[in-house]
Amino acid sequence: GAGVSQSPRYKVAKRGQDVALRCDPISGHVSLFWYQQALGQGPEFLTYFQNEAQLDKSGLPSDRFFAERPEGSVSTLKIQRTQQEDSAVYLCASSLGGLGYTGELFFGEGSRLTVL
């Protein structure tokens, strides 16, 4: 597609369930980012991939969060044993360049996770 695609757009999970959020970046984009955005706040960095390599995962809030991009294209963010504080919008973004390139980030519409 022309833009970054995320699915599902909305996910409701019971506390303790595992969830998987998918991101399909713009074709050919080297860099892929995951951000977490609380209501009315700015996005907070979770993790960064350059192709299939996860170069920075310093923003992942706990070991319940796991991300992968096995073939350097589609990425999945997995949250195990969800907690209420995980409720947020999860944004995926891609950019054309690799490490050190600070060009434009293209964002998807986000996946809104609500944990009951």
Partner 1 sequence: TQLLEQSPQFLSIQEGENLTVYCNSSSVFSSLQWYRQEPGEGPVLLVTVVTGGEVKKLKRLTFQFGDARKDSSLHITAAQPGDTGLYLCAGAQGGANNLFFGTGTRLTVIP
Please give the residue ranges that form the binding site for partner 1 (CB under 8 A): 4, 31, 33, 35, 40-45, 48, 50, 55-56, 59, 91, 93, 95, 97-110
What's the min distance (Å) between Cβ of 74 and partner 1?
17
* 31 sits in which H/E element: strand 31-37
- How far, rounded to the nearest angstrom, does the alpha carbon of residue 48 sit from its chain's CA centroid? 9
Nearer to partner 1, 14 or 42 (CB): 42
What's the min distance (Å) between Cβ of 106 and partner 1?
8
Positive or negative torsion for Cα 99, 106, 9, 38:
positive
What's the min distance (Å) between Cβ of 102 and partner 1?
4
Q: How many CB atoms lie within 10 A of CB 29?
A: 19
Nearer to partner 1, 24 or 109 (CB): 109
Nearer to partner 1, 47 or 82 (CB): 47
Phi then psi for 79, rounded to 5 degrees?
A: -120, 120
Look-up of token digits 């713009």: 26
What's the min distance (Å) between Cβ of 15 and partner 1?
25
